[in-house]
Structure 1
Amino acid sequence: MRKTGILLIVLLAATQYAMAQGCVTCTNTAANLGNSSAQGLNAGIIYLAALPLLFLGTVGFIWYKRNKAA
């Protein structure tokens, strides 16, 4: 159990570093764009995030309702 916990912490720390690279890229890109292009970039990010968030919200809601009834 202890080895699994340590491995999980290491994996989460490594993926956080890898995911943070995308934030720098988007920030630099948005800083170099004009106002209308930056708004388009923001709309694209929200568009790409909407489906996974909707899916997770639906799964969470169904899970909550089933556990609340039990």
Structure 2
Amino acid sequence: MAKALSRFTIERDGDEYVLHIEDEDGDTLELTASFEQLDLISESLEEHLAFDADDPDLLGDDEEEEEE
């Protein structure tokens, strides 16, 4: 079963980036990624967020209030 994301950070380390992904239990996954890989992740996030932005079921109460 998937765990909920608690925290996510990115730090630059020379020519690579280090991603820290922490779950709800406090367990952290550390990954390295290139600029190109982060760019692909960014593009994918933008596509999903743009598509999902029109779904009112995905908007939180705070986001709905900001739109009004």
TM-score, reference length from structure 2: 0.37
The structure with the greater share of residues assigned to helix is 1
Q: Tell me: higher relative CO, structure 1 or 2? Use CA pairs within 8 A at least 6 residues apart.
A: 2
TM-score by length of 1: 0.37
Q: Which has the higher strand share?
A: 2
